[in-house]
Amino acid sequence: MRQGVPSAGNFLNQELAILTGAVEAMVVDVQCIMQALVPLSQQFHTRLITTSPKVRIEGALHMEFDEGRALDVARQIVRTAIDAFPKRGPVHIPQVAEWLVGGFSHEYLNYMQGGRYRGSFRPLNDAVMAGRIRGVAGIVGCNNPRVTQDATNTYLVRELIRRDVLVVQTGCGALGSAKYGLLRPEAALEHAGPGLREVCEAIGIPPVLHLGSCVDNSRILTILSQMATEGGLGEDIADLPAVGIAPEWMSEKALAIGAYFVASGAYVLFGVGSPVGASRQVTDLIGPGWERLTGGKLEFVPDPEEMLERALAHIDRKRAELGLAQYNPARFGASGDTPFFAALAAQGNPPNPYSRRSR
C-alpha cells in the first residue's frame, strides 16, 4: 500500500486469487498459508514459491530469501513468473473494488490532531472525556473458515461506531471493513454516532482507522500508551475506556498477540471458540487471574452480540471509574451537513483506476 499497490483481499481470498487464472507466481513466507494452495495451483499455470527456511511445502518451489542476495532472489522469482506466463489459460478478474484510506500510524495520528508544531493526543483525550467519543476499540485478527468471512468483524465495527466508539484496525480485520466501505470518510456520515461523527468531520477522517498489517498491532498499544501519557484518562492502559477484539481469529499468532495486549493492561475478547474452555482453572487464570496481575484480561465469547455487550460494558465501566460523564449520544446534535461531508456527497464514487474501462 505504501508503494501505491492496491490490496487484493484478506486471508480467505488467497485461493480466489489463483482461481482468477491471472497469477503466474504466488510467493509465501511463514504465516497464514493454506496447505491447499499446492494442489490448487497445480490445476493452473501458477507456481507456488516458498521463501523461508522455516517453511517448505511439499509440491511448492523453494527459493530461499537471503538478505545478502535479495535482488538476485527477486529476479529469479520474476523470471519464474515470466516463464509461466505463456501457459496462461482463461482469465477472469471480477471488476469489483472499494476505496479505503490507510496509513494511520501513531505518528500520523499525533500529527493529524494538531499539525507539525501542535501535534498531540490531547484532542482525542478531550473528545473521550467530553463523551463525543465513548471509547476506543482495536478490532484485529484473521478470518476463520469456521465462521462466515468478515461477518462478525463488520458487525462489531458497524455497531461500535454507531455507538460512538472509535475503531482502529489492522490486517485482515481492516481489509474486511474496507470491502464494505467502512474505511472511507463517508462512513462517518452513514454509520457513525453523532459524537464520533463530529470528530471525524472536524479532522476529515474515517470512523475506522487502518493502522497497518497484522504484525503492526503494536501500533495500537503505542496509541493507548500515548493516550495514558497525555493525561486525563488514568495512569495506565488498564485505566482507559478501551478494548481489543479478535472476532475471527484462527492462529497461534493471534493468541500470542492477545496475550501481550493483556500483559499491557488491555481487556481482550476473542470470538469463534475457546481452546481452553474445558479447563475452569485456565479460564479463571486468563480472566480474573491476569486482571489482578496486569489490569487486563482475556475472554473467549463466540456470540457477536454478547461480545458487543461486554465491550460496551467494559468501556462504560472504565468511564465511570474515571469519573467521566455517562455516555449520552443525545448531548450532541445531528451532524452531516458540514461542507466536508457535503463535498463528499457531491463527488459520489470516483472511478476505479484498476477497471478495464478506466484503463
Distance CA 162, CA 322 (A): 23
Task: Count CB-CB contacts under 10 A for residue 110.
Answer: 18
The residue extents of the domains of the chain are 21-87, 106-343
Does 352 score more than 50 pLDDT?
A: no
**247 grid coordinates:** 472476532
CB 124 within 8 A of CB 207: no
Give percent above pLDDT 90 in the chain.
Answer: 65
Tens digit of each residue's pLDDT (9 = 90 or more) over 130-146: 999 999 999 998 889 99
Estimate the crossing angle of helix 151-162 against helix 304-321, to 10 degrees. 30
Q: Which residues contact 314 (CB under 8 A, 6 or more apart)?
A: 241, 243, 267
Give percent above pLDDT 70 in the chain.
Answer: 92
Cα radius of gyration (the chain): 22
The average confidence (pLDDT) of the chain is: 89
Distance CA 266, CA 263 (A): 7
Assigned fold of 106-343: Rossmann fold (3.40.50)
Residue with cell string 492462529: 251
Tens digit of each residue's pLDDT (9 = 90 or more) over 42-100: 999 999 999 999 989 999 999 999 999 999 999 999 999 999 999 999 999 998 889 98
CATH for the stretch 21-87: 3.40.50.2030
Q: Do domains 21-87 and 106-343 have the same CATH topology?
A: yes
Tens digit of each residue's pLDDT (9 = 90 or more) over 295-346: 999 999 999 999 999 999 999 999 999 999 889 888 876 554 555 555 555 6
C-alpha distance from residue 313 to each of 135, 160, 212, 331 (Å):
11, 12, 28, 20
Q: Give, in degrees to the nearest 5, the angle at Cα 206 between 202 and 212.
A: 130
Dihedral angle over CA of 149, 152, 154, 157, nearest 10: -150
Distance CA 125, CA 138 (A): 16
If pLDDT is split at 50, 70 and 90, which confidence band does 356 have?
Answer: very low
pLDDT of residue 119: 81
3-state helix, strand, coil in the chain (%, to 5): 45, 10, 45
Tens digit of each residue's pLDDT (9 = 90 or more) over 97-133: 899 888 888 888 888 888 777 888 888 999 999 999 9
pLDDT of residue 355: 40
pLDDT of residue 341: 55
